[in-house]
Amino acid sequence: MTINEFFQLFLYINAILIVITIVFVRPRRVQSIYLWIAAFLLLPILFVLVFYIFFGRDYRRAKLFKSKGATDKLGTDYLRKMREKLFICSDESEVLCRYSSIAKLLLDSNQAMVTTNNQVRYFNDGNQLFESIFDEIRDAKRYVHIEYYLFRDDELARRLVSQLASKAKQGVEVKLLYDAYGGHSLPRNFFKEITDSGGGIAVFFPSLLRRFNTRINNRNHRKILTIDGETCFCGGFNVGVEYLGKGPMGDWRDAAVLVKGAGCIGMESRFIQDWNFAAEDDLRIENYCLQMSEDYLSGRDGPGESAVQIVSGGPDTEFNPIEQQYMKMISEAKKCIRIQTPYFVPDEPVLSSLRVAALSGVDVQVMIPFKPDHPFVYWATLYYVGTLLKSGVRVFQFSPGFVHAKTLVIDNEVASVGSANFDVRSFELNFETNAVVYDAAFALEMARAFQEDVRSHCIELTPAQYAKRSYWVKFMESISRLYTPIA
């Protein structure tokens, strides 16, 4: 046998093993199985094997997620004990009572506690958000826990690192968790100022080769920050100057929510579970949240009256909580739905939910970017929003720069702000966190901001305009959408 024949045999054996894994070992959607098998049959084996390295799910990772789920259970057991006490549906929150079926779904499937004594604030401008973040960190007394997907090596990130280091020197517990893929371009000593000051740094799913991480699936895409257990942030902003509108994409539209109150228990517990997994630590949720929860349960008034649930999903969860959250909110809408997302590549159940809502007379509006940051995903997005136009859904493209917000508002009463896009990656492949807010004033503020962008910064993609797109765009849409269910 020649070396070339041996190499070909080696490739085919690996291909067979991967096909067996895809079909029999890992649970996948049927469309994904068909596409993987077709790829192995029709494309060069070496090309498909390389593609699988980047996009496939390996069994070792599956075992790792199972281990993470077991670790997280220690934390959710504590939350489970508290959840009945913190699930409140009374005259304190009329909106929560009207949409209690959403809250119950997320409570039962995700242990997402409901608290009704929160103060909330909405941000859609990065400059305002980060100034608020710096102000809150400056006032921290006990701890600052921060978990972001992406850090840039730029002035904003360096300012944040410097402030965190300063708080660590003051004796405040500082722990920072970032994703290995999102931070792969950072210098090796980027966070040294924090560690030298006594703070802790952990990396989520690091690669053996630091600057060459082949696994773009199963990333920690969350963006959360908790301070002293009483103040927390959740949203779509990462840490980089482009999120201030200073990058190559120009003006940047994103979204985040500041929560003050017992809702931070859910956010802090999420950080601790992820930190313990990445850092192999043993932080106890009750050590950070117990005093606060006992204060609220003993009748202490909170800083506000907004009801909040913190919902997290990922490949380590039994269900798909993020997708379930979006579908349930869509199905409960009676008057209007407002969606912002940079990537609209959902599966059929979510598409059907939006079609049914629009055909039932619900005013459905979706905002996507006008400028693409990832061409293939952009073309796939155009394909999927195009399928909704016939149902009466209105689609708007944010033209001055890039829309990165991940928001959903229904009936101007319930709103979701977080890290999860309307795509299969956020539903199944990546770790995400959203804050669901049951507060008509907050939801109306978000809806008005949406309409202001529609009026001042958006171009409507009408059915007539969509029909005029070029043959090249139609071809790229068809090719790009084939990629979406393959992971």
Which of the four pLDDT bands, split at 50, 70 and 90, describes residue 476? confident
The contacts of residue 351 (CB under 8 Å, 6+ apart) are: 384, 387, 388
Helix (H, G, I), strand (E, B) or coil at 138: helix
The backbone region for 94, taken as left when phi is positive above 0, alpha when psi lies in -120 to 50, beta otherwise, is alpha
Quick check: 449 pLDDT over 90?
Answer: yes
Structural domain that includes position 416 = 321-483
Quick check: 91 pLDDT over 90?
Answer: no
Average pLDDT across the chain, whole number = 85
User: Catalytic site residue 221?
Assistant: yes
- Same domain, yes or no, for 398 and 258? no
- Same domain, yes or no, for 347 and 472? yes
**Which range is least confidently modeled, 16-30, 230-244, 319-333, 334-348?**
16-30
User: Catalytic site residue 228?
Assistant: yes
- Same domain, yes or no, for 250 and 122? yes
Helix (H, G, I), strand (E, B) or coil at 151: strand
- Same domain, yes or no, for 395 and 373? yes
> Catalytic: which of 145, 221, 260, 328?
221
201 or 481: which leads in pLDDT: 201
- Same domain, yes or no, for 346 and 454? yes
How many domains does the structure of the chain reveal?
Answer: 3
Q: What is the mean pLDDT of residues 38-42?
A: 60
Quick check: 25 pLDDT over 70?
Answer: no
Which of the four pLDDT bands, split at 50, 70 and 90, describes residue 310? very high
Which of the four pLDDT bands, split at 50, 70 and 90, describes residue 50? low
- Same domain, yes or no, for 24 and 97? no
pLDDT at 211: 56
461, 389 in Cβ contact below 8 A? yes
Residue 435 counted as domain residue: yes
Which residue, among 124, 105, 123, 122, has the nearest Cα to 114 in the 3D structure?
Answer: 105
DSSP classification of residue 184: T
Residue 61 counted as domain residue: no
Q: What is the mean pLDDT of residues 51-80?
A: 55
- Among the three residues 257, 281, 310, which one is the final residue of a domain in this structure? 310
**Which range is least confidently modeled, 99-103, 259-263, 473-477?**
473-477
Task: Identify the H or E element spanning 389.
Answer: helix 375-389
Which residue, among 164, 160, 165, has the nearest Cα to 197 in the 3D structure?
Answer: 165
- Same domain, yes or no, for 300 and 220? yes
Residues found in the chain: 487
Residue 436 counted as domain residue: yes
Residue 205 counted as domain residue: yes
Which of the four pLDDT bands, split at 50, 70 and 90, describes residue 295? low
- Among the three residues 253, 285, 310, which one is the final residue of a domain in this structure? 310
Q: What is the mean pLDDT of residues 160-168?
A: 98
- Same domain, yes or no, for 329 and 186? no
- Same domain, yes or no, for 188 and 154? yes
Complete DSSP assignment for 310-339: EEEE-TTSSS-HHHHHHHHHHHH-SSEEEE
Interval 347-378: pLDDT, tens: 899 999 999 999 999 999 999 999 888 888 89
**Which range is least confidently modeled, 211-220, 427-436, 458-467?**
211-220
> Catalytic: which of 145, 167, 328, 404?
404
Count of CB atoms situated within 10 Å of the CB of 242: 22
Which of the four pLDDT bands, split at 50, 70 and 90, describes residue 285? confident
Question: How far, in Å, CA of 421 to CA of 48, rounded?
Answer: 27
User: Catalytic site residue 406?
Assistant: yes
Residue 45 counted as domain residue: yes
Q: State both tokens at 145.
A: 């826990």
> Catalytic: which of 411, 423, 439, 453?
411
> Catalytic: which of 72, 125, 179, 228?
228
479 or 82: which leads in pLDDT: 479
Quick check: 102 pLDDT over 90?
Answer: yes
Give the highest mean pLDDT range of 53-62, 160-169, 206-215, 421-430: 160-169
Residue 181 counted as domain residue: yes
pLDDT at 117: 86
Interval 396-405: pLDDT, tens: 999 999 999 9
| CATH code, domain with 436 | 3.30.870.10
Q: What is the mean pLDDT of residues 327-346?
A: 97
- Same domain, yes or no, for 33 and 93? no
- Same domain, yes or no, for 337 and 272? no
pLDDT at 67: 54
Residue in this structure with the two tokens 């007539």, named with its chain if needed? 464
pLDDT at 428: 86
Q: What is the mean pLDDT of residues 47-74?
A: 55
Interval 185-234: pLDDT, tens: 899 999 999 999 999 999 998 876 655 555 677 899 999 999 998 899 99
pLDDT at 37: 61
- Same domain, yes or no, for 299 and 332? no
Residue 477 counted as domain residue: yes
**Which range is least confidently modeled, 113-117, 198-202, 459-463?**
113-117
Quick check: 393 pLDDT over 60?
Answer: yes
Percent of the chain topping pLDDT 90: 59
Residue 402 counted as domain residue: yes
